[in-house]
Structure formats: structure tokens, C-alpha cells
Amino acid sequence: MLLKSKVVSWTQGQSYLWEFLPMLVLAIKGRNRTLEDLKALLFILTAPVFFIVGFKGTLDCPFGIAVISSRKEMKSVTYGAFKTHFCYLKDLKKVQRNKSFFPVVVDVGANVGDFALAIASHSGKVIAVEPGADNFASLLSNIAANNASNVMPVNVAAHDREQTVILRGQGSATRIVNSGDGRQVMGVPLDQVLAGFHTGNIDVLKIDVQGHEEKALLGMNLMLAENRVELVILELHLGWGIRINEIESLMKSHGYRVVMKDSYLFGQPHLYFLVGNGSVDEPVPRQLASPYTAA
């Protein structure tokens, strides 16, 4: 039994490493790497070892301290740390070159808290929305481990109306499906969620919701129509039927324009939208207390 367990662990580790190979290549290819970049790269390179041995405990990672209780969490933390450090934060610096502090940030599809915790030290308030029960439990653990008192977790699904929705999948692949088996959670429009926090303007809104991007945006028509969100970052999941031109058209109808496109990986491009006359120099795509808060 022990030998079988070790063989399964090794097989999972090989699959894990192969899956993360494109991320390693992208991280290594960059130029002008900083010390923090090298530390992040080292974490990603050593993560498969922790995965194979089934490590449980706390780890220092690019977004702070991560609490690991399973291989699934190890995988989610590694993936989130990579994407946040080498993509979101670096692109954010390009788009908002003259801004280093963001009073209000909203992270929709917060998963284990990688983006929320990474930007927390540069923010006054971070509202982290995550519908998945396991992901939300990890999010709470990581917030506590980092003493991030300005990160406010919200356990609902961003939707275009208030209704029960079905979740399927696990970890960072958790997504809303139209029908069939799954876990039922409450879907709530972001306009409604954020009204509970008495949120005025939002400096950064990041949405990564596994193909539910359009409905998440439709659920905050009011805030977008009033241009109360300065920068919108969207990860678009083309494999789930999302079309870039439809999202661009929707955002354009509210007065937003694309200032950067990052092709990223896995058919999941990142689009950055600024409101009104917001601009960025030479945007170059990279090729390759609310009623819904936790008690």
C-alpha cells in the first residue's frame, strides 16, 4: 500500500511538472529580473518537490505565507503565485506607471488569495470574492497567516442576478455551469455585493471566473456605467465560449478601452481596460462589511 502511494505521488508529480512547464518557460524568458523575481522563480521550481512529498504546513511564497493542507492547495498556490507575480503585477506596473497605491481593490475569483494578498500591502482595502467552499477556506487561512486585516473575504459567486448557481471543478479550475451535478452556491451581482461595503470608486478590479466573465460584468452594470472603476483586468477563458470582441464591445459601451493585451497561456488572454481618457505609454502585448462577508 505504501509503495502504491509513492508511485501515485510520483506519477502525479510528473503530471504536475509537465503542466507547469509552460509557466516555467515564460518566467525564465523575461529580462531584467529582480531579486524578487528570482525568489519567485525558485519557489516555482521547487514546488513540484513539495507536491510529490505531500507537504503540509506553511510556506513562504511570492504573495506571502501560504497554508498548505493538500496537494490540491499546493498546486493552486503555485499557479496563483506565478500568475500574480509574473503577469498581473508586472502588467499593472506598465499600465499604472505613476501609481503605487490603490485605495480600493476588488479581486473576483480570488481563489487562495494570491492576487489579493500580493496587492494588500499597496492597498487600503481589498475585497476578495470567491465562491468555492474549499478555495474560500484556503483564502481565509492565508489571510489569517499573513495578518492581512485589510483583505475582506466574500463567499459568493459573481453573477448577473441574485440566484442559486452550480459550481463544478476544484482549485483554480472551479467554475459555474448552467446545469447538471455540482455544488450550489449563491450568485449575486457585484453591484449588490459592493454596495454592502459602501464602496465608492474602485481603483483596480480583477476578474478571473473561468468563463463566467460576461455575467460577472453584467452584474456590475451600474458601477461600470458610472465609471466608478478605474482599471479592469480580465482573464478571458476562450475555451469556455468567451469571445474577446463581445467583451471589448461590452466594456466600450461603458466608456472603457483596451490599453494592454497579454496573450498569457492556455488560451486565457489578459485584457486591461482603463476608463475614459486613461492612457498608458506603449502598451505592448506579451506573446506566448457586507451581508456576504465571512463570519
In a domain, 285, yes or no: no
Q: In this structure, what C-alpha cell is assigned to residue 259?
A: 490599453
**Dist. CA 267–CA 276, nearest whole Å:** 28
Handedness of CA 147, 43, 13, 181 (dihedral sign): positive
In a domain, 180, yes or no: yes
In a domain, 42, yes or no: yes
For residue 227, the enclosing domain spans: 2-275
Query: Which of 87-101, 104-118, 228-242 is modeled with the greatest confidence?
Result: 104-118
In a domain, 292, yes or no: no
Helix, strand, or coil (residue 124): strand
- Segment 115-161, tens digit of pLDDT: 999 999 999 999 999 999 999 999 999 999 999 999 999 999 999 99
In a domain, 293, yes or no: no
For the chain, the domain total comes to 1
* Short-list 17, 2, 100, 87, CA closest to 51: 17
- Amino acid at the residue 127: I
pTM here is 0.89
Arithmetic mean of pLDDT over the chain = 87
**Dist. CA 24–CA 19, nearest whole Å:** 10
C-alpha pair distances (Å), 148 with each of 88, 96, 128, 294 = 20, 24, 12, 14
In a domain, 55, yes or no: yes
In a domain, 58, yes or no: yes
- Segment 74-104, tens digit of pLDDT: 999 999 999 999 999 999 999 998 999 999 9
In a domain, 119, yes or no: yes
Q: Residue 182: which CATH number?
A: 3.40.50.150
Q: Where are the beta strands (DSSP E) in the chain?
A: 57-61, 64-68, 102-108, 123-129, 151-154, 157-158, 163-168, 175-177, 183-188, 202-207, 229-235, 256-262, 270-275
* pLDDT band with cut points at 50, 70 and 90 for residue 280: low
